[in-house]
């Protein structure tokens, strides 16, 4: 196909660079500088999609972000699919492949259109809700078929080969939109020295100036754009971001921008010649001042069949002609309520095509542009409007009639005009979306017939968005806003800039025309579309108001007005005007719906940025990580830490299962010696004369008499009396303690200590510092631990000299080490702490000497089994924020008689925490020794009770014990401490019911003899 609609000269396209592209399987040619939309129009492609609900043929309507129909599926391969791209915003590149998002089997012959045609009258708003509501269970089935016929693009099924990233910015002045107001504002602020960011969503900066008929300083407006962009680009304090849409305007002038970096060049960054670079970038801008110069969207008129291909916005047609050198038809009828749209007829005529008539709704239009049109021999029909478009796949004619706006009726004889294109303009709607994101309500301006942005602190609306439509005013308003923003950012000598001269033009006021009356009522006339993307008609809004939906928010949700990628850019004001007419209210009384981020769709990749794959979340490593990897460890995530879970070995050419490895590791610790990397445990250094007093207030137990050189286990409660963390704390000096916390609780405990110190007890002289990362901790444990360690340390390990719950400074493998005789396994254990940079050396030395003792590395799973055999809890596994120390049977660790009331004490005297039937911590011994109960399983007292059973507790930890040779569990059971020896039942989902005996949670060495050796 050739580019029949391309004009021979003019426009901003490069005729020397012909680009090939494919749309719906058909090959076409376009030019460098085209958008996909302009290239399609150049090739005379009428139908670009099928509508959402009625499957009506749709063509391109607009030239920018407001395009409702030309929403395409982009991408040549499955991994490069991008859904819902607006063809008007997609720069054309060689090899571009796009498809319509809707239309099955294709847009030319669409099956669903028959549904729309036959059933159209029977598909009022709420059709799907009303028709497919019963039986409810069938909705999923209906939905599948409804979706096949309707809906927008599809997500890719393969992973994206491109990357996306983020960039943070701070600036004095963020200018959104580089049209005349934005450019003048940026220039004004930048010359004052402010840090300026200027973004614009189009392929080129300049906005309306790129297709304006007007001149600046006597030369074409686009020349001034070039000069200005060049000046701004050369300034150090200016960041220019073309092809960048401001999508969200959040609190405190935080603006999110989406920059298209390579997607206008090729399918992937690699194919675009930028391998490894991001395809799109999300800029997160924190601005002192924001200048909103987002301009306006032209409002289409609502007349019958206004959705046929060939119905377009007047301004869009001018853009296609002047900017892209594409004239999208042969004969034009223009229906307008204002002067500005007249330029479209002039542009059309200059492009050498036929203007059939301008139909002006005003009775006596008389101004510069009207005269110019008449002087050019264009027929102007006044006091009238296009009431209906004729045609099937494309407009073939327009029905024109005189209208009475006050009575909302047609008055004269209907005239039929032959044409293939109808341009309409019902005025201009300021693009208030971004200001609305902040929560401010837009304000109706009766003179403009539009909403303008409400007040936002630190925001200056400038130019078209503020209702300044004449070019001279737009420029002046932009320059004023730029200077004002600079002044408010502290640039006190911001000067007024000299603006280019414009030619004064006299415009007459527009009239208020939204829905055009028809000779039939809205319900009987051919469909008059308000929201093209969501197939919302004037009749639909009328029905909604009649059915009692009076709030515009309800009308929106009932009809889908303003949904989808469109977000009401074209339809909202017309919809509100129709609702206002039906409800006999004014537009400001009806009000607007709320616009929310994002302004246009943002690809998920850009939201994620580089926080994906291996950079999804920090992985924290200990100093011994490399050794663990080299020795085949399987890892477990504990918070952000990677901890060795178990170390499977090859046995007879087969890798051990977790069960086998854990059984072996457990026996090694119970019978020989094992080693654990315990570096992840939280460690907090506490210094100060009141350190001991502070400990007494945050722990439940007593700290007054802990001697230097000794270690004590402590429980920490929240103020509700529930256990929050546990660990050992050592007295290093009279004013110096080292606290350990759980791995996951480390940061929280430090914050907790700081919180209480800073807010409640600032008079206590004490400081806390995390030393978690400074120390590496290696636990050597098992009956042979002493023999092994004695080979490497200068410390006297004699049990009388270095007792259980002692710590000493020493050296291990010639490295200074602090050794703690504490045990989480129930065996003889030494926790060796060395400065982390020397950890690998010490660890390797231990293995050199440990070989003869079969020193066995073990991971968290073995650690869990070993501690459970000893009935030692893990906070967060055996407790869940609803367990008190007393529930755990740890009365021995509660100092009710301490002089200062520690955190949680009062809560422990509440009747609820003193109940005897609270869930209490016990051991469970399954009757069948081979059974390992499921963690989380519910416990009942009567295994034969019918469902719903009375749940009396649950299993918190459960393992197989290689030492005991049977399964065992820890659990919380109501009144469990008084139920020792009783049988409980654990019913499973498959119907089996396990029996278990309530026993002491300490399964091995209840007297603690093994750790005291």
Partner 1 sequence: MSNLSVSNVREFNTQPEGNPLVESPLAWSYRHHPAPRGNGQHAGVVLREKALLGHLVLRGGAIALDEAVRQTLGISLPSKPNALAFDDNGERSIQWISPDEWLVIVPGGEEFALESALRKALGDAHASIVNASGGQTVLTLSGDNAREVLMKSTSYDVHPSAFPVGKGVTTVFAKATVILRRPSETHWELVVRRSFADYCYRWLLDASAEYGIDTQ
Point out which residues bind partner 1 (CB under 8 A).
165-170, 195, 276-278, 284, 286, 610-611, 614-615, 617-623, 625-626, 641, 680, 685, 687-689, 708, 732-736, 765, 767, 769-776, 809, 811, 813-816, 818, 834-842, 844
Among the listed residues 786, 804, 673, the one whose alpha carbon sits nearest the alpha carbon of residue 728 = 804
Report the residue number, 106 or 687, with the smaller CB distance to partner 1: 687
650-657: long-range contacts, CB 8 A cutoff, minimum separation 24: none
Q: Taking the complex as a whole, how short is the minimal distance between the CB of residue 735 and partner 1, in angstroms?
A: 4
Upstream peptide bond of 598 is cis (omega within 30 degrees of 0): yes
CA distances from 88 to 225, 306, 854 (A): 21, 19, 71
In whole angstroms, what is the distance from residue 208 CA to residue 220 CA? 12
CB 76 within 8 A of CB 97: yes
CA distances from 916 to 887, 891, 911, 919, 920 (A): 9, 14, 10, 9, 9
Task: Specify burial of residue 707 (Cβ count, 10 A radius: 0-12, 13-18, 19+).
Answer: exposed
Q: Taking the complex as a whole, how short is the minimal distance between the CB of residue 290 and partner 1, in angstroms?
A: 16
Any alpha helices (H) in 212-341, and if so which ranges?
221-233, 314-324
In whole angstroms, what is the distance from residue 232 CA to residue 238 CA? 6
Report the residue number, 84 or 770, with the smaller CB distance to partner 1: 770
Q: Taking the complex as a whole, how short is the minimal distance between the CB of residue 818 and partner 1, in angstroms?
A: 7
Report the residue number, 324 or 703, with the smaller CB distance to partner 1: 703
Tokens of 731: 């007295």
In whole angstroms, what is the distance from residue 510 CA to residue 335 CA? 13
Q: Taking the complex as a whole, how short is the minimal distance between the CB of residue 809 and partner 1, in angstroms?
A: 5
Q: Taking the complex as a whole, how short is the minimal distance between the CB of residue 170 and partner 1, in angstroms?
A: 4
CA 237 to chain centre: 30
Helical axes 342-350 vs 368-375, angle rounded to 10°: 30
Q: Taking the complex as a whole, how short is the minimal distance between the CB of residue 974 and partner 1, in angstroms?
A: 41
In whole angstroms, what is the distance from residue 202 CA to residue 189 CA? 22
In whole angstroms, what is the distance from residue 270 CA to residue 79 CA? 13
Q: Taking the complex as a whole, how short is the minimal distance between the CB of residue 430 and partner 1, in angstroms?
A: 31
Q: Taking the complex as a whole, how short is the minimal distance between the CB of residue 789 and partner 1, in angstroms?
A: 17
Contacts of 61 (CB under 8 A, 6+ apart): 67, 68, 69, 70, 300, 311, 312, 313, 316, 532, 570
Report the residue number, 286 or 898, with the smaller CB distance to partner 1: 286
In whole angstroms, what is the distance from residue 560 CA to residue 536 CA? 7
In whole angstroms, what is the distance from residue 866 CA to residue 669 CA? 9
Any alpha helices (H) in 808-936, and if so which ranges?
839-850, 860-869, 911-914
Report the residue number, 608 or 964, with the smaller CB distance to partner 1: 608
CB 50 within 8 A of CB 58: yes
CA dihedral 265, 268, 274, 276 (to 10 degrees): 160
Count of positions (residues) in the chain: 1013
Report the residue number, 18 or 708, with the smaller CB distance to partner 1: 708
Q: Taking the complex as a whole, how short is the minimal distance between the CB of residue 270 and partner 1, in angstroms?
A: 13
Report the residue number, 717 or 839, with the smaller CB distance to partner 1: 839
Q: Taking the complex as a whole, how short is the minimal distance between the CB of residue 941 and partner 1, in angstroms?
A: 46
Phi, psi of 969 (to 5 degrees): -145, 160
Report the residue number, 563 or 621, with the smaller CB distance to partner 1: 621
In whole angstroms, what is the distance from residue 179 CA to residue 810 CA? 73
Token look-up 């019913």 returns: 987
DSSP 6: B
In whole angstroms, what is the distance from residue 459 CA to residue 772 CA? 46
Phi, psi of 536 (to 5 degrees): -95, 125
CB 303 within 8 A of CB 425: no
Report the residue number, 814 or 917, with the smaller CB distance to partner 1: 814
H/E element, 84: strand 82-86
Q: Taking the complex as a whole, how short is the minimal distance between the CB of residue 265 and partner 1, in angstroms?
A: 16
CB 530 within 8 A of CB 571: yes
Report the residue number, 297 or 692, with the smaller CB distance to partner 1: 692
Report the residue number, 618 or 911, with the smaller CB distance to partner 1: 618
Report the residue number, 419 or 812, with the smaller CB distance to partner 1: 812
Q: Taking the complex as a whole, how short is the minimal distance between the CB of residue 52 and partner 1, in angstroms?
A: 39
Report the residue number, 62 or 266, with the smaller CB distance to partner 1: 266
Q: Taking the complex as a whole, how short is the minimal distance between the CB of residue 104 and partner 1, in angstroms?
A: 41
Q: Taking the complex as a whole, how short is the minimal distance between the CB of residue 622 and partner 1, in angstroms?
A: 7
In whole angstroms, what is the distance from residue 462 CA to residue 952 CA? 67
Q: Taking the complex as a whole, how short is the minimal distance between the CB of residue 841 and partner 1, in angstroms?
A: 4
Report the residue number, 609 or 923, with the smaller CB distance to partner 1: 609
CB 3 within 8 A of CB 29: yes
Report the residue number, 271 or 887, with the smaller CB distance to partner 1: 271
Q: Taking the complex as a whole, how short is the minimal distance between the CB of residue 275 and partner 1, in angstroms?
A: 10
Report the residue number, 169 or 379, with the smaller CB distance to partner 1: 169
Q: What does the DSSP assignment read for 238-270?
A: EEEETTEEEEEEEGGGEEEEEEESSTTT-SSTT
Tokens of 883: 């367990």
Q: Taking the complex as a whole, how short is the minimal distance between the CB of residue 838 and partner 1, in angstroms?
A: 6
Among the listed residues 997, 898, 393, the one whose alpha carbon sits nearest the alpha carbon of residue 696 = 898
Question: In the beta sheet, which residues pair with residue 777?
Answer: 833
Instruction: Describe the strand order of the beta sheet including 919-926 as a list of residue ranges.
Output: 938-939, 953-961, 966-974, 919-926, 993-999, 983-987
Report the residue number, 470 or 612, with the smaller CB distance to partner 1: 612
Q: Taking the complex as a whole, how short is the minimal distance between the CB of residue 557 and partner 1, in angstroms?
A: 36
Report the residue number, 657 or 769, with the smaller CB distance to partner 1: 769
């Amino acid at each position: 196909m050739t580019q029949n609609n391309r004009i021979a000269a003019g426009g901003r396209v490069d005729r020397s660079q012909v680009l090939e592209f494919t749309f719906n399987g058909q090959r076409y040619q376009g030019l460098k500088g085209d958008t996909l939309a302009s290239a399609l129009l150049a090739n005379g492609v009428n139908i670009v999609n099928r509508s959402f609900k009625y499957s009506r043929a749709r063509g391109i309507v607009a030239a920018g972000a407001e395009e409702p129909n030309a929403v395409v599926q982009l991408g040549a391969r499955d991994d490069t699919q991008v859904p819902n791209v607006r063809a008007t915003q997609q720069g054309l590149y060689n090899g571009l492949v796009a498809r319509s998002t809707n239309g099955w089997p294709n847009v030319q012959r669409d099956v669903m259109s028959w549904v729309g045609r036959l059933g159209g009258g029977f598909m009022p708003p709420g059709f799907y809700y009303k028709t497919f509501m019963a039986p409810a269970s069938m909705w999923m089935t209906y939905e599948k078929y409804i979706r096949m016929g309707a809906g927008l693009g599809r997500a890719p099924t393969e992973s994206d080969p491109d990357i996306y990233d983020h960039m943070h910015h701070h600036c004095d002045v963020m200018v959104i939109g580089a049209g005349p107001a934005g450019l003048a504002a940026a220039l004004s602020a930048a010359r004052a020295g402010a840090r300026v960011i200027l973004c614009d969503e189009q392929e080129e900066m300049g906005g309306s100036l790129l297709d304006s008929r007007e001149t600046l300083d006597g030369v074409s407006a686009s020349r001034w754009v070039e000069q200005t962009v060049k000046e701004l680009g050369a300034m150090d304090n200016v960041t220019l971001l073309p092809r960048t849409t401001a999508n969200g305007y959040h609190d405190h002038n935080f603006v999110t921008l989406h920059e298209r970096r390579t997607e206008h060049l090729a399918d992937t960054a690699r194919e675009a010649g930028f391998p490894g670079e991001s395809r799109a970038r999300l800029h997160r801008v924190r601005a002192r001042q924001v200048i909103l110069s987002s301009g306006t969207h032209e409002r289409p008129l609502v007349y019958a069949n206004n959705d046929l291909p060939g119905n377009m916005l007047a301004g869009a047609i001018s853009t296609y002609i002047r900017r892209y050198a594409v004239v999208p038809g042969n004969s034009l009828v223009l229906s307008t309520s204002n002067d500005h749209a007249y330029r479209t007829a002039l542009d059309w005529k200059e492009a050498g095509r036929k203007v059939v008539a301008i139909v002006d709704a005003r009775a006596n239009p008389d101004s510069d542009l009207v005269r110019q049109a008449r002087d050019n021999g264009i027929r102007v029909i006044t006091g009238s409007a296009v009431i209906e478009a004729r045609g099937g796949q494309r407009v073939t004619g327009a029905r024109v009639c005189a209208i009475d706006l006050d009575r909302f009726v047609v008055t004269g004889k209907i005239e039929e005009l032959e044409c293939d294109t109808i341009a309409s303009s019902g005025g201009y709607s300021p693009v208030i979306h971004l200001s609305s994101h902040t929560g401010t309500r837009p304000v109706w301006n009766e003179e403009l017939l539009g909403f303008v942005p409400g007040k936002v602190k630190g925001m200056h609306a400038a130019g078209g968005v503020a209702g300044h439509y004449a070019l001279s005013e737009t420029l002046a308003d932009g320059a004023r806003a730029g200077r004002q923003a600079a002044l408010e950012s502290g640039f006190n000598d911001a000067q007024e800039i000299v603006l280019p001269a414009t030619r004064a033009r006299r415009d007459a006021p527009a009239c208020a025309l939204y829905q055009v009356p028809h000779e039939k009522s809205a319900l009987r006339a051919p469909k008059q579309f308000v929201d093209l993307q969501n197939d919302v008609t004037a009749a639909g809004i009328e029905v909604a108001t009649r059915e009692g939906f009076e709030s515009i928010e309800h009308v929106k949700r009932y009809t889908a007005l303003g949904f989808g990628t469109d977000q009401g850019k074209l339809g909202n004001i017309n919809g509100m005007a129709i609702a206002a007419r039906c409800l006999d209210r004014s537009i400001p009384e009806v009000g607007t719906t709320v616009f929310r981020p994002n302004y246009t769709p943002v690809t998920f990749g850009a939201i994620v940025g580089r926080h994906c794959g291996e950079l999804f979340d920090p992985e924290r490593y200990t100093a011994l990580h490399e050794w663990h990897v080299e020795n085949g460890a399987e890892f477990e995530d504990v918070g952000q830490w990677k901890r060795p879970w178990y170390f499977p070995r090859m046995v007879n050419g087969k890798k051990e299962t977790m069960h086998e490895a854990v059984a072996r590791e457990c026996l090694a610790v119970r019978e020989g010696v094992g080693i654990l990397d315990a570096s992840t445990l939280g460690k907090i250094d506490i210094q100060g004369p009141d350190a001991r007093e502070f400990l007494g207030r945050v722990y439940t137990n007593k700290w007054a008499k802990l001697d230097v050189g000794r270690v004590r286990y402590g429980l920490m409660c929240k103020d509700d009396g529930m256990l929050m963390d546990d660990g050992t704390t050592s007295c290093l000096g009279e004013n110096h303690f080292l606290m350990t916390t759980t791995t996951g609780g480390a940061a929280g405990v430090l914050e907790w200590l700081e919180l209480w110190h800073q807010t409640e007890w600032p008079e206590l002289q004490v400081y806390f510092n995390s030393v978690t990362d400074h120390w590496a901790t290696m636990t050597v444990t098992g009956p042979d631990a002493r023999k092994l360690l004695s080979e490497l340390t200068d410390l006297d390990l004699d049990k009388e000299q270095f007792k259980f719950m002692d710590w000493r400074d020493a050296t291990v493998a010639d490295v200074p080490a602090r050794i703690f005789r504490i045990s989480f396994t129930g065996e003889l254990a030494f926790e060796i702490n060395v400065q982390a940079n020397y950890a690998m050396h010490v660890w390797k030395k231990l293995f050199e000497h440990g070989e003869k003792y079969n020193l066995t590395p073990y991971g968290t799973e073995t650690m869990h089994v070993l501690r459970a055999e000893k009935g030692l809890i893990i906070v967060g596994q055996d407790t869940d924020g609803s367990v008190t120390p007393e529930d755990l049977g740890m009365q021995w660790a509660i100092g009710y008689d301490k002089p200062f009331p520690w955190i949680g004490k009062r809560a422990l005297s509440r009747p609820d925490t003193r109940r005897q039937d609270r869930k209490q911590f016990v051991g469970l011994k399954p009757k069948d020794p081979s059974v390992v109960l499921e963690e989380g399983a519910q416990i009942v007292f009567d295994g034969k009770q019918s469902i719903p059973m009375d749940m009396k507790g649950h299993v918190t930890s459960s393992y197989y014990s290689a030492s005991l040779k049977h399964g065992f569990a820890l659990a919380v059971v109501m009144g469990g401490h008084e139920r020792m020896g009783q049988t409980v039942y654990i019913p499973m989902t498959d119907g089996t019911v396990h029996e278990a005996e309530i026993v002491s949670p300490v399964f091995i060495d209840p007297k603690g003899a093994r750790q005291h050796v």
